[in-house]
Amino acid sequence: GMHMAHHLAPDQFREGEWDLYVGKLVANEAAAASAAGSKPAWVPEACSAGYAQLVTAFPGMASECQFESGQVWSPWLLGAEAEREMPSAAAGRLSPFQALLVVQAFRPDRLQSAMSTFVCSVLGMKSVAPEPFSLKSLQEGEMRPDEPVLFIASPGADPSQELSDFAERTVGRNRYHEVAMGQGQGAVAVELLRSCARSGDWLCLKNLHLVVSWLPTLEKEIYTLTPNPEFRLFLTSEPHNKFPASLL
């Protein structure tokens, strides 16, 4: 989200700010050490490096925003939603991204929220959270007997359990079949594919990234089927650069 905001709204970032945010802008060691040594009392020890980087990179910010004043900043430091409640002495002087840099330096625990707020504001979005995935809405709106549904899994995250639970609730355990693909499973999968297509059962072929060389056979089988209207075919795979585009 932040990278997209940086790309689409470059005017929101003044020189050096993005580099400081991503850690590319490293302050002069002597200057940073001096700044850290003279940090105001309200700045926690754990934040001294962040403070030093910020005020060394943007010295004007410290005086403009009264960083020296614990009266201004101590209450903010303890705020539950610091990213939303900048001190009035600083609020009008900081750009939205500069405010985020302040949160990054002094309240890193609120940085994730600050990033979401910033991205939503800059890109005009209500939320950066993806719409929750729903197998039920997929079944009601998009599933067809002649088109497989492909789930791209990340390593270690297997969607097949959720699918199995959903299938059990929808068509019953005895009408849902799975094949964990691997060496020698191609013939089993083809036989089950034909059988389920005739009967209208559901079938899930798992881990197709392990059998990429067999996938043209699967494609051919899918396109020669005349499936029962109730038939559904699900495929799971981790990303693979040789995965056939026609199955995506």
Report pLDDT for 153.
77
- Residue 102's CB is within 10 A of a number of other CB atoms, namely 25
Report pLDDT for 217.
93
**Tens digits of residue pLDDT in 54-79:** 989 998 998 899 999 999 999 999 99
Checking if the pLDDT of 170 tops 70, the result is yes
Q: What is the pTM of this model?
A: 0.54
- In the chain the beta strands, taken as DSSP E runs, fall at 149-152, 176-180, 202-206, 232-237
Q: Which amino acid is at 139?
A: Q
Q: Which residues pair with 233 in a beta bridge?
A: 203
Mean pLDDT (the chain) is 87
Q: Which domains does the chain have, with CATH numbers?
A: 2-123 (no CATH), 135-247 (3.40.50.300)
DSSP 83-107: GG---HHHHTTS-HHHHHHHHHHH-
**Tens digits of residue pLDDT in 97-152:** 999 999 999 999 999 889 988 988 888 877 655 444 567 767 666 688 988 888 87
- Return the top range by mean pLDDT from 113-122, 157-166, 233-242: 113-122
Burial string for 183-213 (b: 16+ CB within 10 Å, else e) reads eebbeebbebbeebbeeebbbbbbbbbbbee
Strands, sheet with 176-180, edge to edge from the N-terminal-most edge strand: 149-152, 232-237, 202-206, 176-180
